[in-house]
Structure 1
Amino acid sequence: MAKRWQLLFALLVALLASTTLPPMTERAVAFGQQTLWMGMRGGDVYELQGRLKLLGLYTGPIHGHFDRRTYLAVRQFQYRWGLRVDGVVGPRTKLKLWQATKHWYPGLEKRAGKPTIPILKMGSRGPRVREMQARLKFLGYDPGPIDGRYGWRTLRAVRTFQARFGLPVDGIAGVRTQGKLWAATKHWRWGMEARVAPQQPAPPRQVAPSAPPRVATPARPPVRRPVQTPGFRGFSARDIELMARAVHAEARGEPYVGKVAVAAVILNRLESGAFPNTPAGVIFEPLAFEAVSDGQIWLTPDRSARRAVIDALNGWDPTGGALYYFNPDRSTSKWIWSRPQIKRIGKHIFTK
């Protein structure tokens, strides 16, 4: 009798445990529970390499060893899908990878011509093209009607997006282009592209009836009011204007990608938690930017500075997550030289 009650109790515990598991859509059921990092071995690493190879990111042999080539492929996947780029395969990276390769099974990556992410190009049709058109329109590009047909207007929108985000401008939406587009529109949902109000033509000016000429006193010249930039991605017009001033003052004379890089550093500081949480707080933090101390922050920014801020807000980060930058020809700070360097863009070196 006691054994019978023990068996019933064990079945009840198993039933309760199974009901507390998260749903299939919330967990990467194909992987195990462990976090994967460089140096590990096992079946989960084998699956990781297979899924990455199916996406075209991993080119080495599938041997179940998390080596440096696997590490670099993981970082590339995280960067393209808008995840934290650390090379560690935790729950979020597992889930995103599982969603991107739902139809993978062992050996599928060896079959040629079966990419999980289809290549979209001129003449392509279907729901994948329709979603791409909606995401492009959400970013402010003009792909034409959202009808799932890859036509000339969609081609021009893709080429413009590729040029803005530093991709090869070929008009073909492959894995890199789609990954960058999906990362730049992480907060997009169906229907959001329709909320962008089209520009309405200005109403015709009403001409007042002519009056008899009269002698008038000289009037004061009209006062020019500053043009207000509309808010974007949760930032006010004043925030965008201030960031454009900082970009113009700090990167004036730099190539366009260098201006986007300065804007990206400001946004990276906003997300890091080690800096103030407003653009004004980041820019006016003591000794943070030379343009503030010498007064150049108040120079009027040009169109390229404003466009660079918008591109950075859309997700373009040429620095790879940098928090600092400096001019090696002018900087004498030993501290900034000690920071881990990421890359050089123009005259600036960008660091962690």
Structure 2
Amino acid sequence: MKAKHWKFFTFLILLCLTTINGLAPQAQAAPAPLLQQGSTSGDVWDLQFRLKLAGFYQLPLDGLYGPNTVSAVKRFQTNYGLNPDGQTGPQTWTALKKYSLNKEELDILAKVIYSEARGESYTGQVAVGAVVMNRLQSGQYGDNIKDVVFQKGAFTAVADGQYWLTPDSTAYMAAQDAVRGWDPTYDSMYYFNPQTATSKWIWSRPQTVQIGNHIFAK
């Protein structure tokens, strides 16, 4: 092929790529939906599940953003220092995702509790869940519970595969209590078994309490 043909061929390729890039939308996270009285989208089910798990909504889930949901949202907003307008906008969604879980996220928390602490007392199981929630709320270990739990090296049970065991009902109850704010660890971010811990660094962390076989630390 002659040089001028090569140049023309290259020009066509660049033109096509430029056109495609111009037409293709950039992948962006979907904005948090604004929910208010009268809303009936699938996001209302998510909202009600989170509110019920966190103890702010007591009725059966119905997917309808009615007066009861408005009242529950107002209680949540008041509890976390938000404007209690009863609407679920970006700020309320941000707080909900820090202080509550959806169904899939609750399963993740229950799996961590069961795999890491199934031999511990009930308080000891809640304590492990509380550490996970403390990490989520800190914002230093991930923006969602999946990132927190699967952070490399964060939890032994993830590394050795025990995480995939099926949690029992006690693990789910402990997960719910942890979400609702029971924290026997006094705001700890770490825990370890002193009989098996090999990391010198973990021993350097300020310790708060020992519950069963686990020492909790900040």
Give TM-score scaled by structure 2 length.
Answer: 0.57
The answer as to 2:203 corresponding to 1:337 is yes
User: Identity rate of aligned residues, in percent?
Assistant: 47
Give SS of 1:285's match.
coil
**Cα-to-partner distance string for 1:66-120 (whole Å, 9 max, x where unaligned):** xxxxxxxxxxxxxxxxxxxxxxxxxxxxxxxxxxxxxxxxxxxxxxxxxxxxxxx
Counterpart among 106, 111, 115 of residue 240 in structure 1: 106
User: Residues 314, 337 of structure 1: CA spacing in aligned structure 2 closer, same or farther, 3 A cutoff?
Assistant: same
Matches within 5 A, 1:78-89: none
Give SS of 1:239's match.
helix
Counterpart among 170, 173, 183 of residue 307 in structure 1: 173
Greater gyration radius: 1
Give SS of 2:182's match.
coil
Matches within 5 A, 1:45-124: none
| Alpha-carbon shift at residue 273 of structure 1 (Å) | 2.6
Partner of 1:278: 144
Instruction: Give the conservation status (yes or no) of the 8 Å contact 2:100–2:179.
Output: no
Which 4+ runs in 1 deviate beyond 4 A? 187-190
Structure 1 gap ranges (5+):
1-136, 142-181, 193-230
Task: Tell me the amino acid that sits aligned with residue 241 of structure 1.
Answer: D
**Cα-to-partner distance string for 1:235-256 (whole Å, 9 max, x where unaligned):** 2211000110010000011000
Instruction: Give the conservation status (yes or no) of the 8 Å contact 2:121–2:212.
Output: yes
Partner of 1:186: 79
The answer as to 2:138 corresponding to 1:138 is no
Give SS of 1:293's match.
helix
Task: Tell me the amino acid that sits aligned with residue 186 of structure 1.
Answer: N
Partner of 1:316: 182
Using the alignment, how far apart are the partners of 2:208 and 2:100 within structure 1? Answer: 29
The answer as to 2:215 corresponding to 1:349 is yes
Cα root mean square deviation, aligned: 3.0
Which structure shows the bigger proportion of residues in helix conformation? 2
Task: Tell me the amino acid that sits aligned with residue 329 of structure 1.
Answer: Q
| Alpha-carbon shift at residue 138 of structure 1 (Å) | 3.4
Instruction: Give the conservation status (yes or no) of the 8 Å contact 1:341–1:349.
Output: yes
User: Residues 241, 337 of structure 1: CA spacing in aligned structure 2 closer, same or farther, 3 A cutoff?
Assistant: same
Using the alignment, how far apart are the partners of 1:257 and 1:140 within structure 2? Answer: 24
Give TM-score scaled by structure 1 length.
Answer: 0.36
**Cα-to-partner distance string for 1:253-307 (whole Å, 9 max, x where unaligned):** 1000011100110011112232111111111111110001110000000011111
